[in-house]
Structure 1
């Protein structure tokens, strides 16, 4: 066999030039492609390289068709001419908005919110740094636009409301910049702003204004509120609605003031003065526990309340905290177990188990799982078992009780199906089927995409399904679905699309 020809490495390598770099390729060889120039990332540093003149030209060209940008540029130029010119430009724009009367369409709401927020930032920033008094005046003017703007719009997104609430907080902070401010006058100003508040724009005012008010201003504000409260007539009916400017509203402001000063006694007095004090038992108890007064907290929590079920868990948690603070551990444990039995809440079961002696927790956990399996609310039980997690128990629950589960409860059933899919594909399939069939039974065409997603999950799990009596195979299930819902063309079109 002839020996292999030996190829010298020197024939495979490119010849080197003097500096060690490869020599240029011969004319017969294709030239290597040049690397494409990297695109510049848009950033302040990159734009700076264009130079001031080029940037100015680009901005002017864009401002010709962008009124918002043009106004921003005029404000920036006005700021270079001193606070007087800037204040004039800001006021001019605010008064123009205030004079408007037309309805603000939905697509104009966010641009208006952005503009008002930009004006707010200008007032609270550059104008406040140069002239705090002018900034206070302009922020007050901006806050005064609230009624006009909301009466002409439907702020479903909450964007406008957030701008005005922030403006209220900014106004409170700006007061602290005023030299020689009068705390008593500021207290009266706070009260006037509260009286004019129709949309919650002063929700953050008091906390922000606390440094400017000082102890003297806060005391004056309390005196004004208490004087007004004393002048309010008491209703003969205990359940009468007193109105926004009545006793309840005044007591609400007094509660905020008491919270600001950490005055639990003042908070309780305000609650009792406003009427229906029992409905604020949790708020009072929370503050009493924080101040080391758990016995009093329990007294408040024992008051009957007409609040809805949603308040019951909070009331239970506060009662547990008070009992633990008093060293009544066994009572707190009993309350945790009762709470778990009612709501299947992990936040009650976990500390209950941790509080048990060694080895007792294992038996107690099994009792908890058995209780969950027998719970009347099957969806709640499933959510608890998959979240704990005890997937074996969740599987048993689904296999026995899947027909009792609510297919509309996708917030619980779909995460449970995903959690069970790997180890218990049959249970996961039953949940996906329940979700899809509920959508089809209700003919909810807007939810067909979700039903399709569930059916596709069934398809992926189909090879893993058991062959056992009473369990529909995927083919049988799909055939039944076509018989019962064959006329729902929109659903079938979505399912077949991309299948």
Structure 2
């Protein structure tokens, strides 16, 4: 069926002709500042990249002067404006005027502090635009005929004023431009900055660090990160490590960072020493440590130790990733036996919901159903973000296990008077009515009728719950 000729799309609008479209755009843009800016930007770009650059610079200067607060509902409009300017820089100005485009990107990034200080953006949308600006800078810089030393001086200025992370990774981005001479110049400048006497600004608007001690901590941290990034750019592993104390190097994530760099440099024995300065006590936080330790063991050629460590990682966190890698290295049939052993281990795991999640994700619904029925008293009915989907997954394989999960949530919500969840609890109980028609053996658990009678006896006055049960 052909699309209607009245449908708003490019093909249909083209039929109106250039003159009529121009009239409509002029009419529509009246009173709409954002639309007018976009049209002016398009007109400037149509004249030349230099004219587009002038229009962008004028708009960036206007944004820099603004002081009004950006409420959450205005964030999208501000972001759209910023994206339009960034798009003009990268796609209209940069191809013909890369040096001008790079200078505009410097101006663009300098807006971040102003924008973040006066905005309410919990979504991270505005931050993502400045992230894109840095990516664009990396693409444009090689063609902008930049001086290595001047670039290093610019980077230093950014490091000193990186309060919102808008310049994160800038050293790595511009390292190819700075080359060895610029990187050495930057390193000396950073070290000199770290030794300067601290004098706080007189202007209270810029007094962001409250006191000298706070500012010194800010400066020391930024000096350390800068020196590490410079070391990475120079391929100086020892320079990177030097920024960490011996105590720092026992932190698993830091031990992993160091070992990874030593490994890439071919210093395998040192990488092994570094990774073993720490041990993972929390598998959720230190997965980097686990993966790096495996890489080092593989580099050492110690496959048996790799397998032992993978299994220990699985036992610690029920990591499906580690288990899959472990099973992949086993001969045929041995992997089936090991997989069965893994399911038995998961069945008895100390954290029941983590175990249930693993069994469901692996597709072992028989184990998961048995697990739910036999360890139902250990389930946390407050986990509303996980349990409903777990119940739905089990409904066909085991209606009883699904019912147990629904009951777990109902019991928790009623016992703790979670009245905002009573609507959901009512739906869960209605699901139980449906599931009851498919259950012949309750395996020692109360039947559906007995369970409902128990709720009525224990919670007769939870009217806001019962009204959702039909």
TM-score exceeds 0.5: yes
Superposition pairs of residues 427-466 of structure 1, within 5 angstroms: 427-466=401-440
- The answer (yes or no) to whether the contact 2:44–2:55 under 8 Å persists in 1 is yes
User: What's 2:274 paired with?
Assistant: 300
Matched, 1:276 2:248: yes
- The answer (yes or no) to whether the contact 2:427–2:468 under 8 Å persists in 1 is no
User: What's 1:253 paired with?
Assistant: 226
Farther-moved stretch of structure 1 (362-371 vs 151-160):
362-371
Match of 1:471 among 438, 442, 445: 445
User: What's 2:154 paired with?
Assistant: 189
> TM-score normalized by structure 2?
0.85
Superposition pairs of residues 19-168 of structure 1, within 5 angstroms: 38-83=4-49, 85-168=51-134
- 1:337-361 superposed Cα distances (whole Å, 9 cap, x missing partner): 2222222222233333344455444
Structure 1 residues 96 and 468, CA, compared in 2 at 3 Å: closer, same or farther? closer
Match of 1:484 among 448, 458, 461: 458
* Structure 1 residue runs of 4 or more that deviate by more than 6 Å after TM superposition: 230-233
Alpha-carbon distance in structure 1 between the residues aligned to 2:98 and 2:287: 48
Q: Which has the larger radius of gyration?
A: 1
User: What's 2:375 paired with?
Assistant: 401
Unaligned runs of 5+ in 2: 199-213
Structure 1 residues 481 and 259, CA, compared in 2 at 3 Å: closer, same or farther? farther
Q: CA deviation at 1:52?
A: 0.4
Alpha-carbon distance in structure 1 between the residues aligned to 2:256 and 2:238: 15
> TM-score normalized by structure 1?
0.80
Structure 1 residues 211 and 52, CA, compared in 2 at 3 Å: closer, same or farther? farther
Farther-moved stretch of structure 1 (485-494 vs 191-200):
485-494
Superposition pairs of residues 236-247 of structure 1, within 5 angstroms: 243-246=217-220
Q: CA deviation at 1:411?
A: 4.4
Farther-moved stretch of structure 1 (109-118 vs 248-257):
248-257
- The answer (yes or no) to whether the contact 2:224–2:243 under 8 Å persists in 1 is yes
Structure 1 residues 167 and 392, CA, compared in 2 at 3 Å: closer, same or farther? closer
User: What's 1:347 paired with?
Assistant: 321
Q: CA deviation at 1:262?
A: 4.5
Over aligned residue pairs, what C-alpha RMSD do you find?
3.1
Alpha-carbon distance in structure 2 between the residues aligned to 1:53 and 1:116: 29
Unaligned runs of 5+ in 1: 1-34, 234-239
Alpha-carbon distance in structure 1 between the residues aligned to 2:169 and 2:423: 43
Q: What secondary structure is seen at the aligned counterpart in 1 of 2:242?
A: helix
Q: CA deviation at 1:222?
A: 3.1
Structure 1 residues 384 and 86, CA, compared in 2 at 3 Å: closer, same or farther? closer
- 1:36-69 superposed Cα distances (whole Å, 9 cap, x missing partner): 9834543323322210011111111210132210
- The answer (yes or no) to whether the contact 1:170–1:208 under 8 Å persists in 2 is no
Matched, 1:319 2:293: yes
- The answer (yes or no) to whether the contact 1:369–1:385 under 8 Å persists in 2 is yes
Structure 1 residues 444 and 65, CA, compared in 2 at 3 Å: closer, same or farther? farther
Alpha-carbon distance in structure 1 between the residues aligned to 2:144 and 2:337: 67
User: For this pair of structures, how many residues does the alignment match?
Assistant: 453
Q: CA deviation at 1:474?
A: 2.3
Alpha-carbon distance in structure 1 between the residues aligned to 2:140 and 2:331: 58
Matched, 1:217 2:156: no
Q: What secondary structure is seen at the aligned counterpart in 1 of 2:375?
A: helix
Alpha-carbon distance in structure 2 between the residues aligned to 1:288 and 1:437: 54
Superposition pairs of residues 373-388 of structure 1, within 5 angstroms: 373-388=347-362
Alpha-carbon distance in structure 2 between the residues aligned to 1:130 and 1:336: 53
- 1:180-205 superposed Cα distances (whole Å, 9 cap, x missing partner): x3111111111111212211111243
**Greater length-normalized contact order (CA 8 Å, ≥ 6 residues apart):** 2
- The answer (yes or no) to whether the contact 2:283–2:317 under 8 Å persists in 1 is no
